[in-house]
Amino acid sequence: MEVIEKAPAKINLGLDVLYKRPDGYHELEMIMTSIDLSDRLTFSPLPNKKIIIQTDNGFLPRDKKNNIYQTIEIMQKAYGFSDGVLVHLTKNIPVAAGLGGGSSDAAATFRGLNRLFGLNATLNDMVKLSIPVGTDVPFCLYGKTALVKGLGDIVQPLEHSIPQCWVVLVKPKLSISTPKVFSRMRLEELHHPNIRALKTAIEQQDYQQMTKELGNSLEGYTLNKYPSVQGIKDKMLAFGADAAVMSGSGPTVFALCQHYSRAVRVANGLRGFCDEVYLVRTLNQ
């Protein structure tokens, strides 16, 4: 028996860093949405709690450093089953790109094991178990479009997904450490997007207003340190994108286009500057 799960990427339509908490982490307020760029995971049972991860991506660890591996161990402990798991991962989401690929793989693993072994875990059960794996995993379990608060553990799905549009993703040849960004940024210098106004625009299905309210508090640090990321954003707008924003801590920048012809023009224009360019739709389940 095998179970197949898709793991969609996410983008941050809005990301605001509010303050540093007493525990040393930062309080966040974000709006995320899922996009039609997905990894594919296939799960099969193995004997004796053995965990094997097979993948076509040579950059990913296959041991306890991998989110999939960690998730399997968490589920084994929480539900006390003695089976092992063979996971085959087809990786389509760029690694270390601010697109939540590892978190979405973990979320897909929670769902896949739940189905494979008939664990009857609820969404709330899986969300609670997922928090130690990564801050984006709870959202990836919910999917669609949601307001996300705290450390990423408070997820409030919106009644409407964002207005249907096209997304152009550009991943430059950079790897950016999220912990390093948070440790080196200065809170007093951050730009704070209006998350409430962004949420209202989505709820009203007002595409034009939504594009005006997009924003990311982490852009200032990353764009200053890596001017090539700013260059990508500028080129997207020059080629006619309705809006362009960095996702997460970067380095991926995404552009939104209401019309396919405009999205194609933006994507083709960027392919002359970057190797990793993706043209996808939003996921409005």
Residue closest to 37 by CA, chosen among 90, 86, 87, 88 = 90
Q: Over 80: is that where the pLDDT of 284 sits?
A: no
Query: Is residue 102 domain-shared with residue 225, that is, in the same domain?
Result: no
Query: Is residue 198 domain-shared with residue 145, that is, in the same domain?
Result: no
Residue closest to 30 by CA, chosen among 181, 145, 120 = 145
Task: Enter the pTM of the model.
Answer: 0.93
Residue 143 bridge partners (DSSP): none
Amino acid in the structure at residue 190? L
Domain count, the chain: 2
Q: Domain boundary residue among 157, 184, 199? A: 157
Any binding-site annotation on 217? no
Show the CA angle centred on residue 56, arms to residues 145 and 2, nearest 5°.
Answer: 70
The CATH number for 41's domain is: 3.30.230.10
Mean pLDDT of 257-274: 94
pLDDT per residue as tens digits for the range 165-220: 999 999 998 877 777 888 888 888 888 999 999 999 999 999 999 999 999 999 98
Query: Is residue 69 domain-shared with residue 99, that is, in the same domain?
Result: yes
Query: Is residue 115 domain-shared with residue 37, that is, in the same domain?
Result: yes
Q: Over 90: is that where the pLDDT of 270 sits?
A: yes
Cβ neighbors of 269 (< 8 A, separation 6 or more) are: 235, 238, 239
Neighbours of 146 (CB within 10 A): 21
| HEC assignment per residue over 75-122 | HHHHHCCCCEEEEEEECCCCCCCCCCHHHHHHHHHHHHHHHHCCCCCC
Query: Is residue 144 domain-shared with residue 15, that is, in the same domain?
Result: yes
Inter-CA distances, 256 with 76, 236, 239, 244, Å: 41, 9, 12, 7
Query: Is residue 150 domain-shared with residue 35, that is, in the same domain?
Result: yes
Cβ neighbors of 218 (< 8 A, separation 6 or more) are: 15, 17, 181, 185, 246, 248, 249, 250
Query: Is residue 151 domain-shared with residue 76, that is, in the same domain?
Result: yes
Any binding-site annotation on 103? yes
Any binding-site annotation on 183? no
Q: Any idea which residues carry the catalytic annotation?
A: 10, 136
Mean pLDDT of 270-280: 91
Mean pLDDT of 68-92: 96
Q: Domain boundary residue among 133, 157, 181? A: 157
Residue closest to 233 by CA, chosen among 162, 166, 169, 163 = 169
Q: Over 60: is that where the pLDDT of 285 sits?
A: no
Query: Is residue 171 domain-shared with residue 222, that is, in the same domain?
Result: yes
Query: Is residue 172 domain-shared with residue 259, that is, in the same domain?
Result: yes
Dist CA 271 CA 253 (whole Å): 13
- pLDDT for the residue 45: 96
Q: Domain boundary residue among 107, 131, 157? A: 157
Any binding-site annotation on 150? no
Phi, psi at 70, each rounded to 5°:
-60, -40
The CATH number for 254's domain is: 3.30.70.890
pLDDT per residue as tens digits for the range 236-252: 999 999 999 999 888 99
Query: Is residue 141 domain-shared with residue 30, that is, in the same domain?
Result: yes
- pLDDT for the residue 37: 96
The DSSP secondary-structure symbol of 282 reads B
Mean pLDDT of 17-42: 92
pLDDT per residue as tens digits for the range 110-131: 999 999 999 999 999 999 999 9
In terms of residue numbers, what domain contains 265?
166-281
Any binding-site annotation on 102? yes
Query: Is residue 147 domain-shared with residue 13, that is, in the same domain?
Result: yes
- pLDDT for the residue 60: 83
Any binding-site annotation on 61? no
Query: Is residue 107 domain-shared with residue 234, that is, in the same domain?
Result: no
CB–CB of 5/206 below 8 Å? Answer: no
Tell me the pLDDT of the chain averaged across its residues: 93
